[in-house]
Structure 1
Amino acid sequence: MILSVDIIAFRLPLLPLGAFLPSLPLDSLFSTQGIMVMLLAAYAVAMWMFLTSAPKVHTVMVSDLEVARQFYEGLLELSAAEVPLHYYYNYEQTLGATGIDPLYLSTNTGTTSATQLQGTEGLWYQLKKNTQLHVISGASYGNKNRHRHVCFDHDCLEQVLMRVQMRRLKYKVRAQKPFNFLVKDLEGRVIEMAEVSN
């Protein structure tokens, strides 16, 4: 069976730009209400652009900030990063703070507890193009006085492990769920990287 279809070419007349706009006079567009609607639309576009361009931030809580600095800057050679703008306004300050296992928290956190931290405190490193690592203090020491680094995000620890592998450091994966591995630094300290399971 063969169907034949005749296509008739037709041409739309050229319409002025005003034909696509609602038939509102310019007075109503530039009225107080019209300006407020335009400002709200501009604000929505600006917020969307800001939030989509903001880097993804992984937070790691460590037992010793100076040892962490030597590890991330010295061994892993991570470059320092600028503090993202949304952290100046305490965005994401309480993310996951209620789900931390007390085993991972230091008993002498003092003024560096998760609820009292400023968003800009700690160490900031660039992991990937649009991914940053925020290192803060407050974790407890692990078994045999190991330096413990705890994180909520499995992806963060996988990226740190990939960096460890690239630097050919000695490491040992202890568990996959929750993710946990050990790394030995140049001074013989054992650093435990642990994912906090919720």
Structure 2
Amino acid sequence: MVMLLAAYGLAMWMFLTSAPKVYTIMVSDLEVARQFYEGLLQLNVADVPLHYYYNYEQSLGTAGIDAFYMYSDATATATSNYGNRDGLWYQLKKNTQLHIIAGASYGEKNRQRHVCFDNECLEDILLRVESRRLKYKVRRRKPLNFLVKDIDQRIIEMVEVKN
């Protein structure tokens, strides 16, 4: 019995340590975000990592609620254009994924706003913007805040939020 528990513990440890790192960015418009990340930054679409499903409801604080009742019609229609109510998933680096979700407010002058809590994530995106030779302007380094202009001349504000 002890050997079985030890083997199970080892298997879980290996599963969770091999899982990709996930950065989450909250955006004001998922369709504009899809055009930006897939089109301009040319990020590959990624599968949802398995560890996101393992204990996912408990991390949301809804352990006692059946998954059938978790999503309202308003939430489903906001993202139903993509056939996926969980947002957009992209491969940022070899073992790093980017999870894009709706929910950010528009910035000043009705700019698209992409909000992130991780400096490393925005630094990687800024490197990608530079390598694609897109027009950008760094407004502030700490916390990181920069503007990017897309093909349709929309200005996307990338904002790091400190806890």
Query: TM-score if structure 1 supplies the norm length?
Result: 0.68
Match of 1:46 in 2: 11
Residues 17-36 of structure 1: pairs in structure 2 closer than 5 A: 36=1
Q: Is the 8 A contact 1:87 1:120 kept in 2?
A: no
Match for residue 55 of structure 1?
20
How many Å separate the matches in 2 of 1:52 and 1:129? Answer: 14
Number of residue-to-residue matches in the alignment:
142
Structure 1 spans left out of the alignment, 5+ residues: 1-35, 95-109, 113-118
Shift of residue 83, structure 1, vs aligned partner? 0.4
Give the drift of 1:111: 3.2
* Residues 80 and 74 (structure 1), Cα distance of their counterparts in 2 relative to 1, 3 Å cut: same
Larger Rg: 1
Is the Cα contact below 8 Å between 1:179 and 1:195 reproduced in 2?
yes
**Equivalent runs, 1:1-198 vs 2, <5 Å:** 36-89=1-54, 90=56, 93-94=59-60, 111=75, 121-198=86-163
How many Å separate the matches in 2 of 1:184 and 1:122? 23
Shift of 1:47: 1.0
Could you say which structure has the higher helix fraction? 2
Runs of 5+ unmatched residues, structure 2: 61-73, 77-83
Moved over 6 A (4+): none
Greater share of residues in strand: 2
Conserved 8 A contact 2:75-2:85 = no
CA RMSD of aligned residues (A): 1.8
Change (3 A) 1:92 1:61: farther
The TM-score normalised by the length of structure 2 is: 0.83
